[in-house]
Structure 1
Amino acid sequence: MEGSELLWGVGAVADRLGIATPTLRTWERRYGIGPSQRTSGGHRRYSETDIRRVQMMNRIVSSGVPAQSAARVALSLDPAGLLAALDSDEPGASRPAHVLATPAESRERIEAAACELDVVGLSDLLSDTMREWGVIGGWVNVLAPSLAHLDLQVAVGAAGEEVRRLARDRVESELRSLSRGFGARFTGVRPVVLTSVEPERESLTLLALEAALAAKGVAAVNLGCAITPGALGAAVGRLAPAAVYVWSMTEDVDWLDAVVADAPPTTSFLLGGEGWAPSRPVVGEGGREAERAPDLLATTDRLITMMQTTPQPG
């Protein structure tokens, strides 16, 4: 898709980001942080991903990390990882001025601590990760891949179930702590409701979403996994939430139609996971349809928008 997008020259990027042109040229020459595209005439141009990489470089350098270390980290992020990291407001505030670990290096350290059943070390690594990268950036680039790799290690017999359980427990504890620490206000606010139809799968993703929303000042009520029609319907009826997010990986959920139909007309519905039909016509009050969200970042942004556009009490 980048071949059809708008491409930017170095001067335009300098004006757009407020970074001096000589600095951009130095970053390109010394560290490879620069344009990856060429025009038909051979002129080098920045794509949107290139620009995000420059933004990431600038953010890390501005926090006191040496340029060489900052470049290593910025270059290690894929396009989705860049988006997730840049979306977080927290990164950079407390980074020490030493060599910063790339996401891959952080994942390796976290997995090693889990395999050694090092509770203190693992907890410290998780805390550092979320402080350095923010909720979404830390989850997308480090925590979720680490947990997935540990699941694979357990499945092939390279690690024990106790390793997986410890890792999930510590990650859960860290995410819950972040949600409490951000202290989203519930009084007089229509929250968003988060839930999953799966018995356990993606429970940590829901916690990550809750923490990410709390970081943005959005109150969320997390109903957890294996939700039943009665429980979700009762919660929606009592809370009249601004939005409801429902995750499913395995199957379309027919009973959701009735929940949507009975919900207040100002409550929006957002579907996550691969269990839903591609164009699911979940129709509620006024002919509205439930929307789809492809990933955690898109989900967070959409729920925030739904919250902002929904009338609040009082």
Structure 2
Amino acid sequence: MSVQLSTHQPEPDGAGQTGDGGAAEVELVLTVAAVARRLGVAPATLRTWARRYGLGPSGHESGTHRRYTERDLGRLQAMRRLTLAGMPAADAARSVLSTDARAGSVSRAPSQRTSTAVNVVAPPAGTPVQRDLVRAANSMSAAAVSDLVRRSIAAHGALLTWRDLVEPVLDAASRRWPNAADCTAVERLVGYAADTAFRDYAARLAEPVGRRPLLFGCAPGEHHQLPLSVLAAVLADRHIAVRNLGPSVPADALAASVRKTGAAALLLWAESMTTADPAVLASLPVTRPRTEIITAGPGWQSVALPRKARHVRGLDSAVSALMHAVSS
């Protein structure tokens, strides 16, 4: 989409549009606070990334308020994904900027662009099944994507399917032209189809070990449930049953579920700081035997947790903590 920037009036949430009375195409612009909320990072982190690595807002002039465009947000989302995966910030920034530079070197001027869709490409040195998954995703075939994921889980297990198949393709979708709407559509389709496959696999677990179940749920207002579905499937390979409450679980429903099940642990996911509410954790009942309260997801990383809760970082740490809770 071609853009023309002009003075704008921000909306209450820090987002706004620029335009000239409807004659020109427009682009969403965001304040520092709005971008920080979307990414689940502190505003100071954005300022650091801008100062150290050049990932600041496009066209920012000294003495003016910082305003991020959709393209700026796409770069920062790619930066966030890479750092969460464990890549050092400096290396992640170089990767994002080099990808952006390559995109710019082959793109045409806005007035010359066509509406031809930009396809997600397979990761470097991609495997045949990765390429099959990319082809299915680019054709927007959720059934084919789900079938490939199901067959991989059956053959290799949930953990390897996530790390060697689904995660690399999702990463390719976010890093390759991260500001392109069609790649966002592909990423969402892969995520939805994979989520279905992982959830169905976990639900078929027979003869689980452990007398007390595990409870999973997304914090109120949080809808990113794919990480919970993957984690439940990984635990199913270890014969550990999970009762997954799904997205945006109200606080009172979380409390009632803990009381009714006597769960060994409750894992609560928050992708964003806006959904990581410590008051929800504080409102959970104290049970005998104790239900361990575990938080996961980037939203909780900068949140002060109540004493009865603890945070885990990464899939391996979550699996370890939950297996320990079941065996205690």
* Band the TM-score falls in, shorter-chain normalisation: 0.5 to 0.7
1:201 offset after TM fit, Å?
4.4
Aligned to 2:248, the other structure's residue is in SS state coil
When residues 254 and 292 of structure 1 are mapped into structure 2, their CA distance, relative to the original with a 3 A threshold, is: closer
Alignment of 1:170-249 (within 5 A): 170-185=193-208, 189-197=211-219, 199-249=221-271
Aligned to 1:190, the other structure's residue is in SS state strand
1:170 offset after TM fit, Å?
2.1
Whole-Å separation in 2 of the counterparts to 1:152 and 1:124: 24
Q: What are the superposed Cα offsets for residues 33-63 of structure 1, whole Å, 9 maximum, x if unpaired?
A: xxxxxxxxxxxxxxxxxxxxxxxxxxxxxxx
Aligned to 1:189, the other structure's residue is in SS state strand
- 1:149 corresponds in structure 2 to 172
Whole-Å separation in 1 of the counterparts to 2:260 and 2:311: 24
CA contact (8 A) 1:192 1:244 kept: yes
1:278 offset after TM fit, Å?
5.4
Q: Which has the higher contact order (CA 8 A, sep 6+)?
A: 2
Q: Report the TM-score when normalising by structure 1.
A: 0.56
Aligned to 2:299, the other structure's residue is in SS state coil
Q: What are the superposed Cα offsets for residues 193-248 of structure 1, whole Å, 9 maximum, x if unpaired?
A: 11122645431111111111122111111111212211101111111100011112
- Paired letter, 1:296: L
CA contact (8 A) 2:278 2:304 kept: no
- 2:56 corresponds in structure 1 to none
CA contact (8 A) 2:218 2:270 kept: yes
Aligned to 1:241, the other structure's residue is in SS state coil
1:177 offset after TM fit, Å?
2.4
1:304 offset after TM fit, Å?
0.9
Aligned residues: 205
- Paired letter, 2:283: V
CA contact (8 A) 1:184 1:214 kept: no
State percent identity of aligned pairs. 22
- Paired letter, 2:194: V
Give the superposed CA RMSD.
3.2
Match of 2:320 among 287, 301, 310: 301
Alignment of 1:1-314 (within 5 A): 104-105=126-127, 106-119=129-142, 121-151=144-174, 156-157=179-180, 159=182, 163-185=186-208, 189-197=211-219, 199-251=221-273, 252-276=276-300, 280-283=304-307, 289-309=308-328
Whole-Å separation in 2 of the counterparts to 1:103 and 1:219: 36
When residues 127 and 234 of structure 1 are mapped into structure 2, their CA distance, relative to the original with a 3 A threshold, is: same
Q: Report the TM-score when normalising by structure 2.
A: 0.54
- Paired letter, 1:168: G
CA contact (8 A) 1:270 1:290 kept: yes
- 1:28 corresponds in structure 2 to none
